[in-house]
Amino acid sequence: MEEKKGSFKSESVFSKKLRAGKRRTYFFDVKSTKANDYFLTITESKKRQDDSYERFKIFLYKEDFNKFIESLNETIDHIKRELMPHYDFDEFAKRQAEYEKNREATRMEGEMSHDNPVVENHNEGEQRGSGADGISGRVETIPEDKSLNEEDLKW
């Protein structure tokens, strides 16, 4: 943990990244305090037209977890049942899966077109996914030798 001019920089103990479309990403970070307490930060990061990033942050403390989840679920359920009962909310997940499939196929085609042979790595690296935390997202496998993209470097 790091001290700077009387301010406290909390240490991240868990992170989850959720890509939501081409220009929006959500970060869920569990951080610790000096007193070994924990809180959640939810950050929405949007890529602007000029390739800079706009970020909005919510700090959620343990005493509000249950009320927050209850209110969030109630609000989403109201939208799904009362306001848009005939809408297919799984459409976005299907579109995202298709986008990921196409992106992977394009990446594989690019690797196959290089003169260098493709070396198979059986140690795929770290795998991140959602647990029983009530927050779902896609599972992301991060190869050990993956180069960081522009968004990762700016975050």
Nearest by Cα to 64 from 34, 36, 42, 35: 42
Confidence of residue 14 (pLDDT cuts 50, 70, 90): very high
Could you tell me the pLDDT band of residue 15, with boundaries at 50, 70 and 90? Answer: very high
The pLDDT-based confidence of 99 (bands split at 50, 70, 90) is: confident
Name the pTM for this structure: 0.56
Indicate the number of domains in the chain. Answer: 1
pLDDT for residue 137: 44
Residue 134 lies in a domain: no
Whether 83 is in a domain gets the answer yes
What's the rounded mean pLDDT across residues 90-114? 84
Q: Domain residues for 14?
A: 7-114
Q: Is residue 140 part of a domain?
A: no
Cβ neighbours for 38, distance < 8 A, ≥ 6 positions apart: 13, 30, 31, 32, 62
Q: What is the pLDDT of residues 43-54, one digit of tens each?
A: 999 999 998 999
- CATH number at 80 reads 3.10.450.700
Return the ∠ at Cα 27 (arms to 105 and 59), rounded to 5°. 170
153 part of a folded domain: no
